[in-house]
Every structure is written in C-alpha cells, then in structure tokens.
C-alpha cells in the first residue's frame, strides 16, 4: 500500500513552453501533498505544500506564478512549470501525506529537461 505515482517520468521541453506534472496517491487519500525539486547530488528542496481544495503554500524564494500547483482532489495534485527555462531543469518529486498513515510517501520523480 501507500503508492504514489508521477507522470510523466521524464519530459523534455523547449524554453518558453509550459509543462504539467501529475502526482497521484493510488491507494490512499492524501490530505496534503508536497512538491520538491532536487539537483544532482543534492538534497531535496521543498517548493510548496498543497492541501486539497485550497491554495498552495510556497516556500520562500519559490515563484508561485512560475510553479503553479493545483490539488484538485484527495488523490491528485499537479505542478505546472510555466514559461520554462533551462535553469528549471531538475528532478521534481512529489510526496503525499495522509493523516491516518502519519507518513509521507514519495513519488518516483519527474526528470525535466528544458532545452
């Protein structure tokens, strides 16, 4: 149990375009989902926290207009990178938290490359 999926697993896009990444909790309802980015050989950096039905809370320094987060249901959150630039190339990872499980479960990650 406690499986989190992400789609796509990797994506290449041209500079200036937008990319949407989906995060789904497959076998539990996630009251809260988190979005992270990770650069090579570095730790995970929390970008934002999303709660179902409410606006996401962004960490300091993260541009909310560039990284749009929507948590439409208890099993789905999406991250849209708008007007992507090469410096947005990174590994994006979501996690889902269910109060009943008291744990955070991570998705497999999405590798974004902006050319």
Partner 1 sequence: QQQVKQSPQSLIVQKGGISIINCAYENTAFDYFPWYQQFPGKGPALLIAIRPDVSEKKEGRFTISFNKSAKQFSLHIMDSQPGDSATYFCAATLGRDYKLSFGAGTTVTVRA
| Smallest gap from residue 44 Cβ to partner 1 (A) | 5
* Neighbouring residues of 101: CB distance < 8 A, sequence distance ≥ 6: 2, 28
| Smallest gap from residue 16 Cβ to partner 1 (A) | 27
Which residues ranging from 11 to 30 are in contact with partner 1 (CB under 8 A)?
A: none
**Can you say whether the dihedral through the CA atoms of 27, 104, 112, 60 is positive or negative?**
positive
Instruction: Determine, following the binding rule CB under 8 A, whether residue 105 of this chain makes contact with partner 1.
Output: yes
Measure the CA–CA gap between 106 and 73, rounded to whole angstroms.
Answer: 18
Q: Return the residue of 84, 107, 112, 114 that touches partner 1, per CB under 8 A.
A: 107
């Amino acid at each position: 149990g406690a499986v989190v999926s992400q789609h796509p697993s990797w994506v290449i896009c041209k500079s200036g375009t937008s990319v949407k990444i989906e995060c789904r909790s497959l076998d539990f309802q996630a009251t809260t989902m988190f979005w992270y980015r990770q650069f090579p050989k570095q730790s995970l950096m929390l970008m934002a926290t999303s709660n179902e039905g409410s606006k996401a809370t962004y960490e300091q320094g993260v541009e909310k207009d560039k990284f749009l987060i929507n948590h439409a249901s208890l099993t789905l959150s999406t991250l849209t990178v708008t007007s992507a630039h090469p410096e947005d190339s990174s590994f994006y990872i979501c996690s889902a938290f269910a109060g009943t499980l008291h744990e955070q479960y991570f998705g497999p990650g999405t590798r974004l490359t902006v050319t």
